[in-house]
Amino acid sequence: MNEVNEKIEIKEIVKSCRSFNLVEILNVIIRSGLTRAGSWGFRSPFIMVKNYAFRFTVSGMHHKGHVYIVLNGLDLFDIYYTSNQGTIKKISKDVYIEDFIETLDVNIERIAEYYR
């Protein structure tokens, strides 16, 4: 389950996840720089699923659609990149908080040539 090209089943995913604070995640994104998040086309609606999953919409160079963030049982983040219809396009599993923004940026927007 939760393979690429399947529909996301968020109710199933959150059964094995830990709750987290939406404000803390938003603060991590904001502290990384609004310019970076802005380059992703990061926009509302921001949806929290019972304190277990956070969803937002992006329109980046690499990914356009929804991004779901969950905190797994290892206290690491799993990030699901889906279409607007909920089809999983990519999954980043077991992401440490210190790699969180970098992982999002690489999968949503980053163009390597811009950083040379």
**C-alpha span between 10 and 46 (Å, rounded):** 15
Cβ-Cβ contacts under 8 Å for 37 (sequence gap 6 or more): 29, 30
Q: Is residue 38 a part of any domain in this protein? A: yes
Mean pLDDT lowest among 38-42, 64-68, 80-84 = 38-42
For the chain, the average pLDDT equals 87
pTM metric for this prediction: 0.88
> Letter for the amino acid at 18?
R
Q: Is residue 48 within 8 Å of 54, Cβ to Cβ?
A: yes
Give the number of domains in the chain.
1
Q: Is residue 107 a part of any domain in this protein? A: yes
Number of other CB atoms surrounding residue 77 within 10 Å: 23
The residue with greater pLDDT, 78 or 113, is: 78
> Quick one: three-class SS letters along 3-46?
CCCCECCHHHHHHHEECCCHHHHHHHHHHCCHHHHHHCCCEEEE
Q: Is residue 2 a part of any domain in this protein? A: no
The distance in angstroms from the start CA to the end CA of the chain is 39
Kindly state the average pLDDT of the residues 88-99. 95
Task: Indicate if the pLDDT at residue 44 is higher than 80.
Answer: no
Beta-ladder partners of 77: 71, 95
Q: Is residue 1 a part of any domain in this protein? A: no
Q: Express each pLDDT in 50-63 by its tens digit.
A: 888 999 999 999 99
Task: Indicate if the pLDDT at residue 34 is higher than 70.
Answer: no
The parent domain of residue 40 ranges over 10-115
Q: Is residue 4 a part of any domain in this protein? A: no
The DSSP bridge pattern shows strands 43-49 and 77-82 to be unpaired
